[in-house]
A = this chain, B = another copy of it.
Amino acid sequence: MYFASDNSAPAHPKIMDAVVRMNEGYASGYGNDGATTQVRDMIRKVFEAPEAAVYLVATGTAANALALASLIDPWQAIFCHPTAHIEEDECGAPEFYAGGAKLLLIDGPDGKIDPDKFRAKATITGQLGVHNIQRGALSITNVTEVGTVYSLAEMQTLTAIAKEFGIATHLDGARFANAMVALDCTPAEMTWKSGFDAVSFGGTKNGCLGVEAVVFFDPDKAWEFELRRKRGGHLFSKYRFLSAQMEAYLTNDLWIKLAKHANAMGNQLAAGLRNIKGSKFIHPQQANMLFCGWPRSGHALAQAAGAMYYAWPEADHPEKGPHDELLTARLVTSWSTTPQDVERFLELIAG
């Protein structure tokens, strides 16, 4: 009953096996090995993007900050949602990597940027010449940080506005696979066909030990990224161990299967929660993460039985009265969540 985070799950055995298999003999360092060349080609194929520049790093923060720093100048803004990981959870990594850039927050319901607000902010940004920070990049997160999923149309609306203003576009795909499965689309549809210039393609939360790909669909930024990565200390000498993970992750659509399972567990959990008396969802559940409140008595029982998850007390409870003894939790399922875990958890909180 571990719903604290998908990054608390172990690596999938096939991915671990690939790492073990990779540990044979010598290999050139820093990505100059055959396995890395091969995995870069696999990613290009998966994204139907033969010209894309493809890089592996070990953390999502590195992927996001390096990608964004390559897309903008230090005097430019990154437009993002107030709940974005780059705003809330990276201790200023984008500002650091981008040499003192600014994140401009664009609100909107359910963790998604409101297109009208984005257009309004894009319009006034940089309008006063050198006195203002300039337009830089849009970064959207899908699956969002509140567990919702942007539709393709929603993403396309935002990237189209960005293009109008000459704003670069970045997709934080820490949970890329979960969003794609929810949308039932292709990787290309999720990314360049929806107007993105660069994507952080996450592996860590979906069964890897620690690997994220950064893909630039326009390879103009490739060399700059490579220098930023090295200079950031993110170029691994034994790079093959990153490549091995990603190779196994992509082989036979393992990544899609894992995300499908995680989302299915999310669906099962949500279905059960809807039946809990007094439960209340803060946001619609659409993938493998959900925010839902239920009576404190149910929490007590679950926690006594060892269930792990985060209470989310800052979630908004506008309606008081019948619900004021609610406590909201964030629950995350993963490739390793079992139906039995979910079942048992639901039984516990039902009291």
Contacts and interface: CB of A to CB of B under 8 A. Distances in A.
A59 B229 CA distance: 12
A95 B100 contact: yes
Given A59-B237, A96-B100, A128 B28 contact: no
Nearest to A63: B233
A92 B26 contact: no
Nearest to A229: B130
Given A2-B26, A28-B4, A308-B26, A132 B88 contact: yes
Contacts of A74: 92, 96, 99, 231
Interface residues of A, number: 78
A58 interface: yes
A20 B93 CA distance: 31
Interface string A37-65: 00000000000000000000111111101
B128 A89 contact: yes
Interface in A179-237: 204-205, 209-210, 224, 226-237
A140 to B, nearest CB: 19
A8 B20 contact: no
Interface in A1-30: 2, 4-5, 7-11, 13, 16, 19-20, 23-30
Contacts of A129: 226
